[in-house]
Chain A
Amino acid sequence: MDQEILKVNNLKTYFFTEDEEIPAVDGVSFSISKGETLGIVGESGSGKSVTALSIMRLLPVPPAKIVDGQILFRDEDLLKKSEDEMRNIRGNRISMIFQEPMTSLNPVFTIGRQISETLILHQGMNNKEAIEKSIEMLKLVKIPLPEKRVREYPHQLSGGMRQRVMIAMALACRPEILIADEPTTALDVTIQAQILELIKELQEQLGTAVMMITHDLGVIAEVSDNVMVMYCGRALEYSDVETLFNNPKHPYTIGLLKSVPKLKGRREKLHAIKGIVPMPNEITSGCRFKTRCEQKTLICENKEPPFIKLGKSLVRCWKYQ
């Protein structure tokens, strides 16, 4: 279980536009072990997708540039790989699924063609084998009538079904890591639960490590082993899931948890974090969270806290100094 397959060190991905430099991801480190699920949570704009796309090396260069850091996949730095080597990894050893199932599949190709494509490319199957395997994958993700579906086009499927197809496609080559970027955000609540259940089940069957990106703490609680809380390009807290929920440390994490409705116990007033996420280049000194933090002190204004180790958690807050 403890075999680290992905280790990201001090990743910095910046966007360089005409008159601005946007540190979308600014020195983030984390690791994922075999079969484990790392949840990455944070409000919109905190740099979650950019982190994921940096690992896939799928960001458009320019404007994006990975200015520093390492992404060690099985001890090899993905940032040093050639484009050809990366292509061999994408969809094969590391796969990704996206937030928008409605638009993430190509409307003019059949489901079968889109799944079998990766199998032909990475596994050297011929067309017939690949289609058979595609049907098998559709069965695996519990799509009814897979023999029929394989010949259909994405518009003939519902959003939930399309996300299942995306999962089938991503897992077809049995990748070591599945990056799921808000896979359930665009879906109905009941479908959300089914999709999460499916990802968990397949993860156990195939031994895939999962990086689950979401802004929804409910999803995190459901699937994660470890959690990284991101805010404005930085990790603010990093711990195992029990510690995070039972004993949250960073004021931001505490705020996020308070804003989740609970059914157990007394119904308290929902507590929203005041203000909005600043642009990554807005805060140039001090703690990233200072503009919205209710426990801010003088030092928070001027000096950014380092990651402080507290038991099993890492937390970036001066409170714990």
Chain B
Amino acid sequence: MLKYAIKRIILAIPVIISMTIIVFLILHLAPGEPIDLIVGPNVTPEVYESIRHKYGLDQPLIVQYFKFLGNLFRLDFGDSILQQRPVSRLILERLPVTLKLGIAGFILSVIIAIPLGILAAVNRNTIIDYTCMTGAMLGMSLPTFWFGLLLLYFFAYRMRIFPISGYGTWKHLVLPAFALGLTDAAVTARMMRSSMLEVLGQDYVRTARSKGLAEKVVIYQHALKNALIPIVTLLGMRLGWIIGGSVVLETIFSIPGLGRLMIDSIHSRDYPVVQGSMIVLTSAIILGNIIADILYAVIDPRIKFD
């Protein structure tokens, strides 16, 4: 088990390295020098050059990359051009907000989706199934931002149960977490249903029934554990998206999270911040995938021995 986990983490190293190269290149190959922002248009070439030198932008790309990589190991993403503060500090300030929202949405989606998916599969082609799946279809086709606005309109603007925007109390989190969780739940529920349906048609489910086991045991033990295998992978990947998934919602609900930070810094071309938040975001996704694979091995005994 531990060996598998270590193997899996080692396998992630090339992925992480490629990721840093891509993030690095995107910003350095993008048109426009980042320092144009700091220096303004009316500056002598000498001053311009000295600033370029100060940020190391006059060195060859490869040297710049290795410096960038070296800094990454120390979790040093450089300083924000706009705010003149360390990017890591900025990210650390925003991360908890995003994590809270993401985790709340994630938990919400799991506790809604899994039971609904099972319910729909077990009652296939009945009114229960159709209701669940119509709901899921709706949830999937409505964009998260639209759903967020809808929730805002009804529960914040009309009924005034929850605050319209901002961040601070748990009440601020309820609507965005639901907007995030419900749209996510739609995808998971559909997947849970089809996974469960497939498993229910397997020979070993028939074997379980032929042993005289109660239908509950057949479904919640024999079938469920198998049906969860693909779902765990999906959820693992979604876990990584916790940080990236709420970018849009943070904007709609004016929540000062990492997503907002990233969007704002893209607008203001604050490249070190964009770079830093992209690294955090992609790392979270890679981490999510690793967790998914390890969980997969925990529930599927066939994995470890391959």
User: Which of B7-15, B92-100, B210-218, B278-286 is found at the contact surface with chain A?
Assistant: B210-218
List residues of chain A with CB within 8 A of the CB of B213. Answer: 87, 91, 117, 121
The count of residues in chain A whose C-beta lies closer than 8 Å to any C-beta of chain B is 30
Contact B305 A90 (CB under 8 A): no
Q: CA A109 – CA B299 in complex, angstroms? A: 10
A103 touches B202 (CB 8 A): yes
Query: Does A153 have its Cβ within 8 Å of any Cβ on chain B?
Result: yes
- Do A88 and B212 touch across chains, with their CB atoms under 8 A apart? yes
- Name the residue of chain B whose CB is nearest to the CB of A56: B210
Q: Does A235 contact B (CB under 8 A)?
A: no
Q: Which of A86, A91, A106, A107 has the most CB of B within 10 A?
A: A106
Across the interface, do B203 and A98 meet the contact criterion of CB distance under 8 Å? yes
Inter-chain contact A118/B212, CB cutoff 8 Å: yes
The yes or no answer to A92 lying at the interface (CB within 8 A) is: yes
Q: Residue B226 at the A interface, CB < 8 A?
A: yes
**A106 and B210 contacting across the interface, CB-CB below 8 Å:** no
Give B220-241 as 1s and 0s: 1 = Cβ < 8 Å from A's Cβ atoms.
Answer: 0010011001000000000000
Q: Please tell me if the beta carbons of B301 and A100 are within 8 angstroms of each other in the complex.
A: no
Complex CA–CA separation, A90 to B281 (angstroms): 53
Complex interface: chain B residues within 8 A of A108 (CB):
225-226, 229, 299-301
Contact mask A78-103 → B, CB, 8 Å, 1/0?
00000000111111100110101001
Q: A90-B212, A106-B208 are in contact. Are A100 and B302 (CB under 8 A)?
A: no
B residues adjacent to A (C-beta < 8 A):
202-204, 206-214, 222, 225-226, 229, 299-302, 305
B202, B299, B305: the one contacting A156 at CB < 8 Å is B305
Question: Is A118 a contact partner of B209 (Cβ separation < 8 A)?
Answer: no
Q: Which among B203, B214, B301, B305 is the interface contact of A104 at CB below 8 angstroms?
A: B203
Asked whether, in the complex, the Cβ of A98 is within 8 Å of the Cβ of B206, the reply is yes
Determine which of B210, B302, B305 lies in contact with A91 in the assembled complex, contact meaning CB atoms within 8 Å: B210
CB distance from A172 to the nearest CB of B (A): 9
The reply to whether B203 and A91 form a contact with Cβ atoms under 8 Å apart is no
**Alpha-carbon separation in the docked complex, A166 to B207 (Å):** 9
Interface residues of A (CB under 8 A from B): 56, 58, 86-92, 95-96, 98, 100, 103-110, 117-118, 121-122, 153, 155-156, 166, 169
Nearest B residue to A155 by beta-carbon distance?
B302
Tell whether, in the assembled complex, residue A92 and residue B212 are in contact, meaning their CB atoms are under 8 Å apart.
Answer: yes
- B211, A58: Cβ atoms under 8 Å? no
Q: 24 A-B pairs, CB-CB below 8 angstroms?
A: A58-B209, A58-B210, A86-B212, A89-B212, A90-B209, A90-B210, A90-B211, A91-B212, A91-B213, A98-B206, A98-B207, A98-B210, A104-B203, A104-B206, A106-B204, A106-B207, A106-B208, A106-B222, A107-B226, A107-B302, A109-B222, A117-B211, A122-B212, A155-B302
Q: A103 and B203: CB pair below 8 A? A: yes
Which of A95, A105, A107 contacts B210 (CB under 8 A)?
A: A95
User: What's the Cα separation between A153 and B225 when bound, in Å?
Assistant: 14
Complex CA–CA separation, A153 to B306 (angstroms): 13
The residues of B that contact A91 with a CB separation of less than 8 Å are 210-213
Give the chain A neighbours of B302 by CB distance below 8 A.
107, 153, 155
Residues of the A chain whose Cβ atoms lie less than 8 Å from the Cβ of B208: 106
Interface centre among B209, B226, B229, B300 (most CB of A within 10 A): B209
Q: A122 vs B301: C-alpha distance in the bound complex, in angstroms?
A: 27
Q: A92-B212, A95-B210, A104-B206 are in contact. List 5 more A-B contacts (CB 8 A).
A: A106-B222, A106-B226, A107-B226, A108-B229, A155-B302
Q: Tell me, in angstroms, the Cα distance from A122 to B302 when the chains sit together.
A: 29
Bound-complex Cα distance A95 to B300 (A): 28
In the bound complex, CA of A53 to CA of B162 (Å): 57
